[in-house]
Amino acid sequence: MSGREFFSTRTVAEALAGFRPAHRTPVEDVPLAAALHRVPAAPVSAAAPLPGFARSTVDGFAVRAADTYGASEGLPSYLDLLGTVRMGAEPTVAVRPGGCVAMPTGGVLPAGADAVVMVEYTAETMPGTIEVTRPVAPGGGVVRADEDVAAGGTLVPAGRPLRAPDLGLLAAAGVTAVPVHARPRVTIISTGDEVVPPSTVSPAPGQVRDATASALAGLVADAGGEPVLAGIVDDEPGALKSRLTEVLPESDLVVVSAGSSVGARDETAGAVASVGEIWCHGLAIKPGKPTLLADCGGIPLIGLPGNPLSALVVFGQVGIPLLWRLSGCDAPPPVPSTRARLSRDLASASGRLDIVQVTVHEGVAEPLFGPSALLSVLTRADGYVRIPEPATGLDGGTEVEVVLYR
| Nearest residue to 189 (alpha-carbon basis) of 263, 280, 271, 262 | 271
Q: Quick one: 284 and 208 in the same domain?
A: yes
pLDDT value at 261 more than 70: no
Q: Quick one: 20 and 37 in the same domain?
A: no
Q: Quick one: 294 and 315 in the same domain?
A: yes
Q: Is residue 132 assigned to a domain?
A: yes
pLDDT value at 7 more than 60: no
Q: Is residue 100 assigned to a domain?
A: yes
Q: Quick one: 295 and 385 in the same domain?
A: no
Select the more confidently predicted residue: 139 or 9: 139
Q: Is residue 363 assigned to a domain?
A: yes
Average pLDDT over residues 350-356: 94
Lowest mean pLDDT among 35-44, 60-69, 232-241, 262-271: 262-271
Q: How many domains does the chain have?
A: 4
Asked whether the beta carbons of 309 and 285 are under 8 A apart, the reply is no
Average pLDDT over residues 31-56: 97
Q: Is residue 6 assigned to a domain?
A: no
Query: Which alpha helices (DSSP H) does 223-326 contain, by range?
Result: 239-247, 262-273, 308-314, 320-326
pLDDT category of residue 79 using cuts at 50, 70 and 90: very high
Q: Quick one: 217 and 299 in the same domain?
A: yes
Average pLDDT over residues 240-248: 96
pLDDT value at 1 more than 60: no
Q: Which domain holds residue 352?
A: 337-404
Note the pLDDT of residue 5. 44
Q: Quick one: 240 and 375 in the same domain?
A: no
Q: Is residue 3 assigned to a domain?
A: no
The domain that holds 382 is classified in CATH as 2.40.340.10
Q: Is residue 193 assigned to a domain?
A: yes
pLDDT category of residue 160 using cuts at 50, 70 and 90: very high
Q: Is residue 1 assigned to a domain?
A: no
pLDDT value at 286 more than 90: yes
Q: Quick one: 172 and 38 in the same domain?
A: yes
Note the pLDDT of residue 266. 66
pLDDT value at 262 more than 80: no
Note the pLDDT of residue 406. 84
Q: Quick one: 399 and 317 in the same domain?
A: no
Q: Quick one: 278 and 370 in the same domain?
A: no
Lowest mean pLDDT among 84-88, 104-108, 368-372: 368-372
Share of the chain above pLDDT 90, in %: 89
Note the pLDDT of residue 260. 45
The domain that holds 130 is classified in CATH as 2.170.190.11
The domain that holds 167 is classified in CATH as 3.90.105.10
Note the pLDDT of residue 259. 57
- Hey, which residues does 178 pair with through a beta bridge? 30
Q: Is residue 5 assigned to a domain?
A: no
Average pLDDT over residues 386-402: 95
Note the pLDDT of residue 373. 75
Asked whether the beta carbons of 181 and 223 are under 8 A apart, the reply is no
pLDDT value at 92 more than 60: yes
Average pLDDT over residues 343-355: 94
Domain boundary among 93, 115, 143: 143
| Cα distance between residue 254 and residue 275, in whole Å | 12
| Nearest residue to 318 (alpha-carbon basis) of 273, 362, 287 | 287
Q: Quick one: 272 and 224 in the same domain?
A: yes
Note the pLDDT of residue 374. 82
Domain boundary among 143, 171, 190: 143
pLDDT value at 33 more than 50: yes
Asked whether the beta carbons of 77 and 131 are under 8 A apart, the reply is yes
The domain that holds 256 is classified in CATH as 3.40.980.10
Q: Quick one: 294 and 246 in the same domain?
A: yes
Strand pairing report for 337-342 and 383-387? unpaired
Q: Quick one: 310 and 192 in the same domain?
A: yes
